[in-house]
Amino acid sequence: MSLRVAVQMDPILGINIDTDTSFLMMMEAQSRGHKLWFYTPDKLSQEDGRVFARAQPVEVFADKGAHARLGETVMLDMKDDIDVVLMRQDPPFDMAYITATHFLEKVHPHTLVVNNPAEVRNAPEKLFVTDFPGVQPPTLITSDHEAIYDFRARHGDIVLKPLYGGGGSGVARLLADDPNLDALLELHAMIGREQVIAQKFVPAVSKGDKRVLLVDGEPVGAINRVPASGQVRSNLRVGGRAEAVELTARDLELCKIIAPELKRRGLLFVGIDVIGEYLTEINVTSPTGAQQLKRFTGVNAAEVLWNRIEDIRANGG
C-alpha cells in the first residue's frame, strides 16, 4: 500500500541527518514506497473550511549536504490529496503552533495526522504529565513569584524552566540560597506571560535523563542522555551525550501507567523523559531520539511507527 505523506517540519535543508528523527521517519516511509511532500508550518492555510499546504515533493538520501531533493511547489488539499501528515516542527508551543493544530484538526482522521492535532494541543509536554499523580517529582506551575519562593523554601534546590519551551532552552538549576531567582523570574516575564515550572531538583540527573520512545502506547526502547560535566541540562542539542541504556522495571511501569491515555488520545509517537524513578515530561509535539536508539540498539522506532500507521490506514483509520 503506497501512501501520500506530507511532512510538516522545520526547513529540511538545515537538519542534521545523523540525529534528526523526522529524517529517519522520511527515509523509512520512502523505503516502503510512500510518496513524500515537505512544507513548513507557515505554508499551511485555511480557506472556506478547507485546509491547504504549499508543499514540495521531496526525495531523501543518506548523503550529508545532499540529503533532500525538492521538486516544484504545488498546492495540496490536505483532505483530498494526502493520506498521512507527520506534524514534526519543533516547539516553541506558541499561538502559531496552536493555530496549526486547529487547521490540521479539520482534516483528521480522514487524513491521519501523527500525532492527533487536537490532543497535541490539549497535552503540552510539561502539563500532560501532571494528569498522572505520583509519577513526578514535586512540581509547581505558576506565575506567582511568592508561590515559587515558598516552593523553594520547602524543597531546597529546584529547577526552573519555561512551561512551553523545548530542547532544554531556559532551564536552570537554583540552589536553596541562590540569589538569582528574582532575576530569572524577571527574564521569564520579559519573554512572555506564560507560567513557569519549578521542580524539586533530582540528583539522579547527573547519571542521565532517559528518553523512552513509545509507539501507540508501547515502549520501543530507550537512550540515556547524560549532561556535560557541571551541567543540569541533558538535552542533546545543548551538549548532552547519548548512550545506550536498558529499560528498567520502573520505566515499564511508567509506560503502563500512561499507555491507555496515549492510545485514547491518538498520540502514536511519544517520547517520555525519566530521571531516576520520576517521569518528568511526556513529549508529544516532535519527539526525538530515534536515530540514537537505532544506532545503539538496532531498534528502528520509525519502522515500528510506520507499521502502525499502515495498519491504521489499511483498516480505514
235 a catalytic residue: no
Task: Please indicate whether residue 52 or residue 92 has the higher confidence score (pLDDT).
Answer: 52
253 is known as an active-site residue? no
Q: Pick the catalytic residue: 126, 210, 265, 294?
A: 126
pLDDT > 60? residue 238: no
137-200 placed in CATH 3.30.1490.20: yes
The answer, yes or no, to whether residue 304 has pLDDT greater than 90, is: yes
pLDDT on residue 145: 92
Cell numbers 522506532 label which residue?
301
Catalytic residue among 88, 161, 265, 294: 161
Query: pLDDT class for 317, splitting at 50, 70, 90?
Result: confident
Is a pLDDT exceeding 60 seen at residue 231? no
Q: For the structural domain made of 2-120, what CATH number should be given?
A: 3.40.50.20
123-127+202-302 shares the fold of 2-120: no
Percent of the chain beyond pLDDT 90? 78
Q: Is 225 a catalytic residue?
A: yes
**Domain ranges, ordered by start, for the chain:** 2-120, 123-127+202-302, 137-200
Residue 16 labelled as part of a binding site: no
Taking only the tens place, the pLDDT of each residue in 276-300 is 999 999 999 999 999 999 999 999 9
Q: For the residues 200-224, what does the mean pLDDT come to? A: 94
* 23 has pLDDT over 80: yes
> How confident is the model over 156-203, as pLDDT tens digits?
999 998 888 766 677 889 888 888 898 888 888 777 778 899 999 999
* CATH placement of domain 123-127+202-302: 3.30.470.20
Is 43 annotated as a binding-site member?
Answer: no
Decide: pTM greater than 0.85.
yes
Reported for 231-237, long-range contacts at CB under 8 A and 24+ positions apart, including other chains, are 232/159, 232/171, 232/172, 232/173, 232/201, 232/205, 233/168, 233/171, 234/168, 234/205, 234/208, 234/209, 235/167, 235/168, 235/209, 236/19, 236/288, 236/289, 236/292, 237/167, 237/168
